[in-house]
Amino acid sequence: MTGIATGDYDKLITEVTEWVRGPGEEWADRIEETGEVPDELWTELRDRGYLSLAAPERLGGRGLSFEQWMGLMESFSTSHASVRMIVHVVNGTWRAMDPFASEEQRDRFVRPSVAGTKKVAFALTEPGNGTGADITCSLEREGDTYYLSGEKHLITFGVRCDYWLLTARLAGSTGREGTVAVMVPRDVAGVTVNDTSQTMGVTGTDHAHMIFDRAPVPAANRLGAEGDGLAVALGGFLTPSRISVAMSCVGLARRAQELAYDYASRRTTFGKPLTARQAIQFMLAENEADIEAAKQLILYAAREWETGAPRASQLSSMAKLTAVDMLGRVTDKALQIHGGLGYWKTEKIERVYRDARAQRFEEGTNEIQKMVVFRELQKQKDVL
């Protein structure tokens, strides 16, 4: 995929960067003050076209290449974590739906999601097991209707969405062969939705715990065939999404580095700014190298995924675990450079530090990434 022309892309990067540093900072302050992401922010992001950047033109998107999208992801991620979360999720969920959707389903679900007129929440995780073939949320089919029972939790935007893109399994089945992906209307009967949004960071992003009791879902809302559930949830979505999350770590680390450098330049001790102290210089230098190394691995993973390279899945997990570890080191040093003042909410580094911790869980923990990397390594060795 070639993406948009270089000149147009450069203008877009400049526009997004200016928005993040101007209106984006105002939104960040408002979100932290109120604890909520207002609907007006969603509207502004939609009207600016920021929710449809990564999707192809045939779906109503801007048609950026994946590597171009990574550049925008880095810029958005220097903003508030909830702003980043919105653009990341909306610019990614179409990848799960589109390969399995009929043209009628694209008109009902995919294109409205890309346009930002319908909110789709990705609903895979459950409270009682892992996030894969051991899911237990079940579907029983009666005629043209599935009846959904079970629980999902930690579902981002699961409270305010229009649809849950939900993976369950046919009742009585085991393994991935019994999994099914369905588009469940938010207002379906037989569901209880609990708002569980009181998180350490990423303030304002709503998270839902849903309990289904034979909630009726039209069979026409199924994506793909019975047995395709995990392919929908994980196949075309998870690998690029992990790369995108990794790049969001770079953006947030870049913001922490900027805050640390600016503070160190202003803060004076014994007549000299902190930037004159070798200990601080070394910390900032280590951060800069750490950020750049992670970024280059991520861009390599992005290019490999876009060309369909066989190592794309392994590189995606490598990029994510490397970037997450980098983000932890960078934000810790950035906070340390601020001294005790960095622990106060009056300093922006305090929010950045809290938001950074969430990246360790998103799209799978580092332990999961290491399992993927080793599994692919083992396959390579077996071939040899």
Beta-carbon contacts of 192 under 8 Å, excluding residues fewer than 6 positions away, are 210, 211, 213
Catalytic site includes residue 363: yes
Dihedral angle at the C-alpha atoms of 182, 187, 188, 192, nearest 10 degrees? 100
Sign of CA dihedral 315, 316, 318, 319: positive
Tell me 110's DSSP state. Answer: I
In angstroms, the CA 329 to CA 275 distance is 19
Cα distance between residue 81 and residue 120, in whole Å: 19
User: Whole-angstrom Cα distance, residue 152 to residue 48?
Assistant: 32
Reported as half-sphere exposure (CB side, CA atoms, 13 A), residue 330 has a value of: 30
The answer for residues whose C-beta is within 8 angstroms of residue 92's C-beta and 6 or more apart is 54, 237, 240, 241, 244
Find the catalytic residue in 74, 363, 367, 376: 363
Active site residues: 363
